[in-house]
Structure 1
């Protein structure tokens, strides 16, 4: 209230604001904490996942008591305790082309803290169609990026202007696969919250048309100017990037999981086990007796005719993230598969035999 750039008017604007936060993970945790503490009037938390012990080093909104709980529900509970005057709504669901417009409509601003490309494209497209500003952040290892997209009617820059073509499957690892330093989430998440407050309160120079790059090892911020591609047509319909490009998309926990202890017995019984990692990943070894079908090829060939061959198969990737995503996609096509808990990396110390090329 004492800051002249914000003042009582700015605080009233924050109190009247309705904000949607996609993802309650590493970026969502600091984003949600700071937005609630800043006095945002209404916050919608969207996340289909549950709290896992591996989340706790970076998703500081949660504690050990939250393990196994839905992230959106646990986050909402903590935020209500932190800021009782803030209205928090938990949505335990993934953003999809079918529900995106309905879930995001009615908000004044959206923040995207997800870790997969299909949701990033979907969030940007939906916000462009709804004429909503989108604060976007991304992290990996020791690096992070932040920008503000606002491109309704073909005017401003959106995520598609920065990344016109989605990466190929396996080309860019997720944080679960490549790792991330927990404190980096705080730096980028706090910056996202700062940009959101600036947009809502109408103060300062927001990161619209600019991409801020942070290198934690150098302790340095760099900046890249952004411009809208004049040849790109405005978005008028939502595309399912996960289907068209075979990329891992939004996912919650796997519905039918297999543990490392169960895997040898399944292999001995002749159950089909499929390694869905990319070619470069299997160079370090794969489960003896498994077959290799990269995720993109698996999903592209998984038609109704292939349902009988895939039914009941066990899928595994590096850490279990992609296999859970593939399980969700195949399940929507009526094909039931199982996912290996912890993936290939979780087999260390188990009795599963590994074959080397």
Structure 2
């Protein structure tokens, strides 16, 4: 992964984004050398994986213990009907490599416990939380804080979505726990409450955009801000989020 140049094929493949002054050759090289972990290959993880693979992120680590079900296909666009019954990491890897054969893929088909999650986070430059449950989000956040790795977090249910970036490398950045605390025991899932496919596509696409900005080094990442998406009214709202000095997860990480 230490290649110093782009090949002729890569220059052609990524030519439209290389034309952007904010990306250019240097930004594309940064993407080529980058590794990202995607936790969850469902409605959010599908557009995230597709866009990062297409954009030239060199290595994607895919984590999902589930298999493809026919009820997934309404929104989980990295999978198709022929994938039903397959492990999601295998279905997604096949699709991503068909889009970009130059991609390196690492698969985590089992649930990640504390040790394996810590190792998976330590092995990458950035983590995208595309999971669908609060306990996983808390565990991923804690691992990112401990490893000092930026986290792009997305969520969507019914007709509402949320997006934020937590970057423990920045002294003023909050973490997921600063914002949500211990959460609610009565948290609903999409299988219980429902969700519209284009909404998770929108939030996942924004997650991919934030990841590319962080990895290539341009723009203003969504750090210290929470983006709220109201799909029913086609409205976006932004809230400021401050780091909690007494946070049980990140409260002591910037004490030096």
Output the TM-score relative to the length of structure 1: 0.64
Specify the SS of the correspondent of 2:115. Answer: coil
Structure number with greater CO (CA < 8 Å, separation at least 6) is 2
Among 243, 247, 251, the residue aligned to 1:228: 243
Q: Which residue of 2 aligns with 1:284?
A: none
Alignment equivalent of 1:177, drawn from 176, 192, 204: 192
* Structure 1: distance between partners of 2:176 and 2:75: 25
Contact 1:140 1:179 in 2 (8 A): yes
Query: Is the 1:154–1:234 Cα contact (8 Å) retained in structure 2?
Result: no
Structure 2 residue ranges without an equivalent (≥5):
1-17, 252-256
2: CA distance, partners of 1:187 / 1:69: 25
Mapped contact 2:177–2:249 kept (Cα < 8 A): no
Q: Secondary structure at the match of 1:132?
A: coil
**CA shift for structure 1 position 235:** 4.9
Map of 2:224 onto structure 1: 209
Following TM superposition, by how much is the alpha carbon of 1:155 offset from its aligned partner in structure 2, in angstroms?
4.8
Deviation at residue 176 of structure 1 after TM alignment:
0.9
Partner deviation per Cα, 1:277-317 (whole Å, 9 max, x = no partner) = xxxxxxxxxxxxxxxxxxxxxxxxxxxxxxxxxxxxxxxxx
CA contact (8 A) 1:143 1:184 kept: yes
The match for 1:109 is: 126
CA distance in 2, matches of 1:186, 1:97: 29
For residues 192-271 of structure 1, the aligned pairs below 5 Å read 192-235=207-250
Give, in angstroms, the shift of residue 156 of structure 1.
2.2
RMSD across aligned C-alpha pairs, in angstroms? Answer: 1.4
CA contact (8 A) 2:142 2:249 kept: no
SS at match of 1:94: coil
* Aligned position for 1:22: 39
Q: Distance in 1 between matches of 2:97 and 2:164?
A: 28
Q: Is the Cα contact below 8 Å between 1:53 and 1:64 reproduced in 2?
A: yes
Alpha-carbon offset, residue 154 of structure 1: 6.6
How many correspondences in the alignment? 234
Distance 1:235 1:186 in 2: 30
Structure 1, unpaired ranges of 5+:
237-357
Equivalent residue for 2:57? 40
Asked if the contact 1:129/1:152 (under 8 Å) is kept, the reply is no
Q: Is residue 149 from structure 1 mapped to residue 149 from structure 2 by the alignment?
A: no
CA distance in 2, matches of 1:162, 1:189: 20
Q: Which residue of 2 aligns with 1:66?
A: 83
Larger radius of gyration: 1
